[in-house]
Structure 1
Amino acid sequence: MDKAAIVGVGMTAIEKNKVGDGFADMAWEAVNLALSDAGMSIDDIDNVVTTSNDFWDGRTISCMAVSDASGARDKNVSCVEGDGTFGAFYGLTRVLSGVYGTTLVTAHSKGSESVSSLITNAAFDPIYERSIGMDMISASALQASAYMHRTGTTPEQLARVSVKNHSNARHNPKAQLPLTIDVNDVLTSEMICDPLHKLDCSPVSDGCCALIIANEDRAKNAAKPPVWIRGAAFCADAYHLGDRDLSRADALTKAAKKAFSMAGITDPAEQIQVAELYDAFTYQELMWLEATGLCPDGRAGSELERGAFDIGGRLPVNPSGGLLSGHPVIAAGLIRMAEVVRQLRGEAGAAQVKDPSVGVAQGVNGLCGQSHCVWVLSSIRP
């Protein structure tokens, strides 16, 4: 692929309820942080991609709430519905087209103003499934049970994901839930939907993220060393839950293989030094690790117990604290990308991984990981 890089990132603090901030306020903050990070002004941005969702925002044409705050005046602006990684993918294609030198991508969500059970219930088929009353949590509980049954992963191993990520969040000043907890705390927390306890689930959150993608020529003028996009791919699976094996994530496996192939990665478990994965629930971190090939199938739980995915382990996973420590839904994947950028620049403070040069970030759309978007980023120019 042609050369493109991320040259600026910005994000708000992730909070339970940003009472004083609307959608535009969050976008304004994140965009200006990204511009400052890149050493650019809004005049240096050629086009804008906003990422939002009408259901989560509670309004039609939800992108209109943030277009002005995202600097879209007198620019070509487009919108993407869903996770921010998919918005970034669209922004990347615009840069690679040769028409635009830079693209600013934003993604925002205010879970505090939403009723997630009603919103995610609407994702189900209206004829056969919606009336059952399921939502994202109950669907994910089905998937967690299927995954645990097939692989032998234990509730204690799921709990260790929560312990690790909440602990990592103590080093992230923008995380919502930095906690010092143990496995017993997770297993004795409220049962939300068997086998998922409250501390197995990500919280309701508000937040926004922005990043700037530039072609090679424009990246040379950025204030900081560019983080190069070495590979990016996405893949979608069947819509109906009964039409796929919920214990596996075939769409993620396919997307990861495409992204790794594009990046020249032949052994991801050895060649990736840091990963930010979409851990909306504890089981997902383990399941996604196996589906991407970053860990052998069925082995993520046991490797976690040995410390393989700690900040000082062989492959640090979610050193930022992940989504378990703050989950603004639409912005979640874009934040994963921004966190990998910070790691590759050496800007992660106490959460910094030792000398990473290649990292992977992942975003998810749909029920039980229906579609996945995988990014391979590197501090080394291709």
Structure 2
Amino acid sequence: MSSIHIPIEILYNILGRLPVKEIIRFRCVCKAWRDLVIDPNFISTHLNLQTYDSDRCLLQYKAGRYGSGKDFFVAFNARNFAEHSNLEVPFSCETSYFKIVGSVNGLLCLSLSFTLFGRTLYLWNPSIWKLKILSGSCFHRQIEKWKTFFVVGFGFHRRTNDYKIVRIMYFTEIGGREPPRAEVFSLARNSWRKVGTNSGFYTRDRSSTVVVNGCVHWFAFRINDVYSKYILAFDFDSEEFREITLPKYHHNGESQFHRHRPAVSVAVLRESLALIVSWYKKHLMGCCNIWVMNEYGVVESWSKQYSIVPNERISRCLGIVNNRDLMLDVSGEKGVISYDLDKQEYNKPLGLDEHLDDLVTFHESLVLYEEGFRLTPRKDLFVEGGIRLGKRKRSVFELLQKKWL
């Protein structure tokens, strides 16, 4: 059947509800359907028509003893926590370690970790096996310095339908400190651009998966006052930095944990900015308080909404999913469990006996379908200095890489 006899609105409504794999198969039906799949409007429609049941959580872990092996993602249903698949990252880098910068609309932003963090960035859509490598910068000389500390955030600008990456560079040289520099990469423009800096703040987190109200957020402190604590936000619309004052959470911990320093992380709860304050005793979580900013940007709207005393051997908090489930890393054989904030009860654990890293939400999409390099699930794929695919395929890849950069 030719698509010319089907109104475009109906075609969007039908195909837009299908899984990504089925949509790609239907590209072979006719030329009109093939062109439809790569249309930006259809890609956006497909994202909007995805149901809540299709949402996944990706839990990153390192295989091997002491987390020394390859990177894997365990995908599980975000609603009932049933394991969906186990996905190996099909490429590697010179550090042999990836860090998740963020996950937006089925697109993962990965970065090198440790000393080379932020020098090379990867946009990867595992649903369609497409990869785009970003190794350029507005600051070519500064980015090569070994004493450069990178901070990266990834987000989506809804008004322009554009995916953006913000990167902040802090420089530490003998005899003084250079002012930080910041730049933004736009996928629509396929280029980096300099933006105003956050010269007064030093971010503690190297990456942030927390995007609220069109802004990405990091836990930070003032450069001239290491004891001060703030949230640093970057607005993907105005491309400006702003500061958000934290609540006085250190006065609200359990008295038996006051002598210990809490672990503080930024999160999202019911589309609001949240703060997870965890108090530890002998490397195990003894108390966890969750603060929520009820009105974005209004400091007075901070309120402590949850106070949890775990009855399990919790080693750390991984984050919040489903706008209600607190994901917890359990010491021992149980792996990961979730705590339902509404029902105040624990759910079925995910049995993972591995070195756990990050947790992000994810759902399938066609984003990046017409860009990037088409991967295949090969264990010897090496993208940092070229890939091991034979001379002919490697030369094609190198030509594409020059075009991207």
Same fold (TM over 0.5): no
Q: Which has the larger radius of gyration?
A: 2
Higher relative contact order (CA closer than 8 Å, sequence separation 6+): 1
